[in-house]
Structure 1
Amino acid sequence: MILLPVALAFAEDAPAQSSGGPFGSLMSIAPLVILFVIFYFLLIRPQQKKAKEHKQMLSEVQKGDNVVTNSGIYGRVISVQDETLTVEIAENVKVKVAKEAIAIRKPQS
């Protein structure tokens, strides 16, 4: 409590900061712009690239491919529709899954 008036007194005596010319406000924004650029190249861009590769992989899925779903189910593609795949996970056991649920595609050999 005793230091509060002293701090206020020193704050009043502090000289006002000058803008430093026409680039003063620009230089205060520069670190934020640099930080955004770093985030873009380290986080956003690789994620977009990975999503593009996954979309390409999904468009190449065809009948007979072995696939692994995001939940870890292994199977062989029996049929391909627009949004779904029919996957045989065991003999005479077929499940219908969304194309987006496919994590790995192993082309038929």
Structure 2
Amino acid sequence: MSFLISDALAEGPAAAPPGGEGLPLIFLIGMFVILYFFMIRPQVKRQKEHKKLVDSLKKGDEVQTMGGLVGKITDVSENFVKVEIADNTVVAVRRNAVEAVLPKGSLKEI
């Protein structure tokens, strides 16, 4: 019986099928490319657009903040803008918290 075991051990491990070594690597690279184009690239594009919007803020713009406040910018500084949300009611808001610049006259409709 031991003579069969020695023959089985002498054969060594089975050979891997040819051509299958690079397939998992190609699949991984493909998934990363898909992730980049569907998630990372659009986020970077939105960040650039928001930075451009924040850099273009000026006195008199009608804006909406991320918190939902709408008003007219009365003063612009390096990090903050002052937004008049009602008569004689001015709040200081970080420039990055401005979500959108509204078309002129939008506040009259509210």
Query: Same fold by TM-score, threshold 0.5 exceeded?
Result: yes
Matching residue of 1:64: 60
User: Using a 3 Å threshold, how does the CA distance of structure 1 residues 39 and 81 change in structure 2: closer, same or farther?
Assistant: same
Deviation at 1:28, TM superposition (A): 2.0
* Alignment RMSD: 1.8
Alignment of 1:31-46 (within 5 A): 31-46=27-42
Deviation at 1:107, TM superposition (A): 5.5
Unmatched runs of 5 consecutive residues or more in structure 2: 1-12, 106-110
Number of aligned positions between the proteins: 93
Distance 2:15 2:38 in 1: 35
User: Using a 3 Å threshold, how does the CA distance of structure 1 residues 19 and 74 change in structure 2: closer, same or farther?
Assistant: same
Question: What secondary structure does 2:22 align onto?
Answer: helix
Distance 2:94 2:66 in 1: 11
Alignment of 1:1-109 (within 5 A): 16-18=14-16, 20=18, 24-106=20-102, 108=104
TM-score by length of 2: 0.76
| Equivalent AA in structure 1 for residue 75 of structure 2 | S
TM-score by length of 1: 0.77
Would you say the 8 A contact 1:64–1:108 is kept in 2? Answer: no
Deviation at 1:17, TM superposition (A): 4.6
Task: Using the aligned pairs only, state the percent identity.
Answer: 39
